[in-house]
Amino acid sequence: MGGKDQQALGAYGERVAARHLVEQGMVVLDRNWRCPVGELDLVLRDGDVLVFCEVKTRRGETRGHPLQAVDTIKAQRLRRLAALWTDEHEVRVDHVRLDVVGVTAPRRGPATVVHSRGIG
């Protein structure tokens, strides 16, 4: 799959993930926030908890489930990005959570969403 196809798949997965999380009662505060260190896919509020969410999207599971793409190093990077986001936005909260949403988007049929709360 080429770069544009991969970007389109990723954007689709982020839309699916955001819709799923909003249906679970979360509020989207930011999407695709970028800085020199990297990008945060979604920043949400879940009650009084600030949630930083990485979204991984795949067509199938031949390369493993999308959630497997987030290892310890990616979780550390997500934590660093979360700190940079809270500093830039001058947000002070007592509770922060790192989540991952895995979206499997087959060429036919509906996408499946798996939400893993509190990684790393």
DSSP 29-89: EEEEEEETTEEEEEEEEETTEEEEEEEEEESSSTT--GGGG--HHHHHHHHHHHHHHHHHT
pTM here?
A: 0.90
In this prediction, residues 44-48 reach a mean pLDDT of 96
**Radius of gyration over alpha carbons of the chain, in Å?**
14
Looking up residue 64, the CATH number of its domain turns out to be 3.40.1350.10
User: Tens digit of pLDDT for each residue in 86-107?
Assistant: 999 998 889 999 999 999 988 8
- Domain, as residue range, for 46: 3-116
- CB neighbourhood size of 7 (10 A): 11
Domain tally for the chain?
Answer: 1
* Per-residue pLDDT band at 120 (split at 50, 70, 90): low
